[in-house]
Amino acid sequence: MADRVIIAREWARMLRFMVVGLANTAIYAVLYFVFVAISLPYLAASILAFGISIAIAYLLNHRFTFRVADHSARLVTWFFAVQGLGAFVNVAALTVAVEWLGWTPVAAQLVILPPIVATTFIANRLIVFRAQVDTRGG
């Protein structure tokens, strides 16, 4: 019975993360597309959109997804390190796709974004918020 409760909590947490992830991805994408549309270079658009979206993601994941009480500098540092690595990989992949493969910035981002989002979820759950996750109810 206890295993079922733990599994149900993790599925609920995963669902919350997916909701936050979808909202955050939409925020990032809208910002990125707006920045590109106003003629900001695509790499600058990506960096700026990631910066804004990771700040929002931290707040939502901290309070809603993982429901942690820890407000330590270590937690914030690890979260931003994971997201920063995601941003770095995103920018590198965008550069390759646009400059070397000739893709449009929008098409490249649509292909690159899903695996980056999946990877950052796994890192957040298993590394950043692992010890701090509230184990009381879903």
Tokens of 49: 């959109």
Instruction: Lowest mean pLDDT of 35-39, 45-49, 70-74, 102-106, name the range.
Output: 70-74
Q: With 80 as the cut, is the pLDDT of residue 42 above it?
A: yes
With tokens 């990032």, the residue in question is: 28
d(CA 116, CA 36): 20
Q: Is 120 exposed, middle or buried (0-12, 13-18, 19+ CB in 10 A)?
A: buried
Domain assignment of residue 80, yes or no = yes
Tokens of 122: 């796994």
Domain assignment of residue 87, yes or no = yes
Amino acid at 53: S
Domain assignment of residue 114, yes or no = yes
pLDDT in tens, 60-110: 888 888 877 777 788 889 988 998 898 899 889 999 999 999 999 999 999
| 45: containing domain | 2-128
pLDDT in tens, 60-70: 888 888 877 77
Domain assignment of residue 89, yes or no = yes
